[in-house]
Chains A and B, each alone.
Chain A
Amino acid sequence: MLKTLYVEGATPFHRVPLRAKLILLMTASIVLFFVSSPAILAPVFLACLCLYLTLGLSWRDALGRIGWIGFAVLVLALATWFFNGLNEAIALSLRIITLVLLAAAITATATIGAFMDEITVMLMPLERRGLLNAADVGLALGLVLRFVPEIAARYDNIREAHRARGLPVRPLTLFVPLIILTLKDADTIAMAIDARGFRRQ
């Protein structure tokens, strides 16, 4: 089943041009790694949280989109606390969650087509130097975004199939079919992209 991370809406953040949002994310990714004071990071985190929660997502959907990062942040925070102290652990957690919230806000307010177009335009200087094919990179990144909810939905389907058959849900029996089915679909989608002549140049 084909889904999208885009949330229809007319919030001020929806109206911000995608290029500006991507530049904002890139700048924030660099700047925040030079900031280690939780007193500065906390307000930035709260601002991004407010932004994310005002995009028209339900609480459940809002949490579901970023919840997966929670475990990784927790592990990193614990390790940082152990090696570098509590202050550093709090700063690291705030930094990562802030960037994830900002990235999630951008993907919720831009369609995949807009992403592909923008990335293709931004990479044209590199294409002119013969370093890459901008449309291919745009397509690849667009497909990554398109696949995220698809893989999540398939994961749920396989887990439900286990339950329906009374089988225990184990990583091996869950991830092996997930990977195989994903690769199989990827193959078919690649064929469809060729059939539709997208990569004609």
Chain B
Amino acid sequence: MAIEFTDCTVRFGQKTALFPLTLTLGERRIGIIGLNGSGKTTFARLINGLVKPSEGRVCVNGLDTAGDAKAVLGEAGFIFQNPQHQLIMPIVAEDIAFGLKNRGLSAAEIEERTQAVLARFAVSHLAKRRVHELSGGETQLVAIASVVVTAPKILILDEPTNQLDLKNRRLVEQAIAGLEQQVLVISHDLGLVADFDRVLLFHEGRLAADGSAEETIRHYHGIAGC
């Protein structure tokens, strides 16, 4: 399982969001940290092809995100910063099932997989609930379940504990800890990534540090001036 960036650059108009970057990500748990606007989200969106490189290439398990875009979407699931944007359907079970449509599965298979993933994240009781009635933690768990149900090999989570209270944060942390996929987490919550295998620090569109969580977080404190 590997994500490879080769001389990858991203520009939006005249602005360079990500300067040339070459690296390989093979660890199971990878944290991505940095100040606001440092290029973290652009970097993460490159992995499942939501952003295409202006130069260079990104390969996920050997698939080019530019040339094999649809196959890459099946390999790498993305959980957005605001989970409300990700939940397309208004009822929880309908939304989980949404991602399974167009995959040639029967209605019974879709129902079975939906119920299984709801049970896995201990949210079966929410199946018939309306998405807008869920708490922040429940919404985040449903968003994670809605992506996990499609069985991606890689999961990218953009600030999954953002705006969550302590109780909900614990629930989401436990859910992330239980994921068997390769997981990349963008976060301002340094505690969340403190025991990850590898942490990347972005600053002004450049990879400023890359190593163990302890070293990279120390470097980050230096950049942030605190």
Contact = CB atoms under 8 A, between A and B. Distances in A.
Secondary structure class of chain B's binding surface, majority of residues: mixed
Interface stretch (B11-19, B56-64, B70-78, B216-224): B70-78
A161 to B, nearest CB: 19
Interface string A157-201: 000000000000000000000000000010011011111111111
A66 B13 CA distance: 45
Nearest to A133: B102
Interface in A87-134: 111-113
Interface residues of A, number: 26
Contacts of B120: none
A179 to B, nearest CB: 18
Contact of A135 (B84, B102, B131): B102
B94 A196 contact: no
Contact of B50 (A3, A6, A194): A194
A112 B102 CA distance: 16
A1 B87 CA distance: 10
Given A4-B91, A146-B89, A188 B80 contact: yes
Contact of B132 (A2, A135, A189, A194): A2
A3 B50 CA distance: 26
A191 B51 CA distance: 10
Interface of A: 1-4, 6, 111-113, 135, 142-143, 146, 185, 188-189, 191-201
